[in-house]
Structure 1
């Protein structure tokens, strides 16, 4: 029998993270209620194209992204814009153990390419609930991206996509970081990219 410590939510996260998530989700619902999703979708797509250009990614390059759910910053226009510029886009498939496999977003059949496919991406756009300026990303607690990001390629940049207001100053309000948490390189909002 495995005993999970009281300070662990079962996914390797500290209890501090689990305690933060309900408040962050409630705050996100408030943010989303005040925003126009279509406007944000178009703005994020433009910001991602600027980021791709800044990183020197060209047609034939690979970007790992995700298909936004519910209150996450929208990504439909981003996926389309990347494809229109000849960028290969990988999106995740969640496996039964919460690890991530990847498929080509342009492949309507969603054929799995394997968990290591993310290593081909020059840029990984990761979802999250919040980040701090020290590079700590807080996700939903399943550990999927913690595992997947360990497989990124050398030189790949990891950028978490958030709504404005979801980035904390690490000096004033740092997010808890566990040993398995891989820092992100920056955050992208409709206002642009901030590098840490």
Structure 2
């Protein structure tokens, strides 16, 4: 964790948690734009190595992943490796509003971005929101994660709702760049009661389990001058 390079908003009395989240999102998205295509490609290859070393993923027959957008940790190499192993890979399909659906990955050539800002989606038949229950591991996108499992998403709440259909006890792994992993004892991410925590985090450098047992309550944001 590189706290000196991590954006972190100043919290004052009366500051809304969603406002703090939005400030962090803007800062992290801006920081992601400074990573060159070459560095992002290198990070994607390293991330695939790391994620494949997670025991549940190494043994899985069905995994939920996502097709990355520009600026996000590149999941392309991971998708190809899982498919080459014969793993059934489920990708999100975004419907109207927050409608949730899934479809099977059928190769990079099958992916299409159906609207600006949306992640690439497969062209295979949709399977319904409940299809995520087939996944033995869920790999989720994030802008940042802290060491208590708090995940900062894009702000739409799509994954918080989608995970309601996941099988009980399934491990949820968030993917971030190394500097986007926050020490919850020093810089906890803002979290609301409805936010779903994650069980583990993977970066291009390593993966680790997270201390999620004590995060049933809302985690306050420390004031940083």
Q: So what's the TM-score if we normalise by structure 2? A: 0.75
1:3 maps to what in 2?
none
By how many angstroms is 1:27 displaced? 2.0
Q: Report whether the alignment pairs 1:76 with 2:76.
A: yes
Count residues in correspondence.
183
2:18 maps to what in 1?
14
Q: In structure 1, list runs of 5 or more residues that go unmatched.
A: 1-5
RMSD over equivalenced CA pairs, Å? 2.1
By how many angstroms is 1:18 displaced? 1.6
By how many angstroms is 1:155 displaced? 2.5
By how many angstroms is 1:56 displaced? 6.5
| Alpha carbons 1:57, 1:122 under 8 Å: kept | no
Q: Report whether the alignment pairs 1:96 with 2:110.
A: no
1:167 maps to what in 2?
181
* Runs of at least 4 residues off by over 6 Å: none
| Alpha carbons 1:135, 1:183 under 8 Å: kept | yes
1:114 maps to what in 2?
128
Alignment partners' CA distance in 1, 2:85 and 2:51: 11
Aligned ranges 1:1-196 → 2 under 5 Å:
14-30=18-34, 32-33=35-36, 36-51=39-54, 54-55=55-56, 57-58=58-59, 61-106=61-106, 108=110, 109-196=123-210
Alignment partners' CA distance in 2, 1:160 and 1:49: 14
Q: CA 1:56–1:168 in structure 2 vs 1: closer, same or farther (change >3 Å)?
A: closer
Q: CA 1:101–1:172 in structure 2 vs 1: closer, same or farther (change >3 Å)?
A: same
Q: C-alpha offsets along residues 10-60 of structure 1, whole Å, 9 cap, x if unaligned? A: xxx722212221111112223x23862222222112222211xx126536x
Alignment partners' CA distance in 1, 2:57 and 2:50: 14
Q: In structure 2, list runs of 5 or more residues that go unmatched.
A: 1-13, 111-122, 211-225
Q: Secondary structure at the match of 1:181?
A: coil
Alignment partners' CA distance in 1, 2:206 and 2:48: 11
Alignment partners' CA distance in 2, 1:170 and 1:56: 26
- Indicate the larger mover: 123-132 or 100-109: 100-109
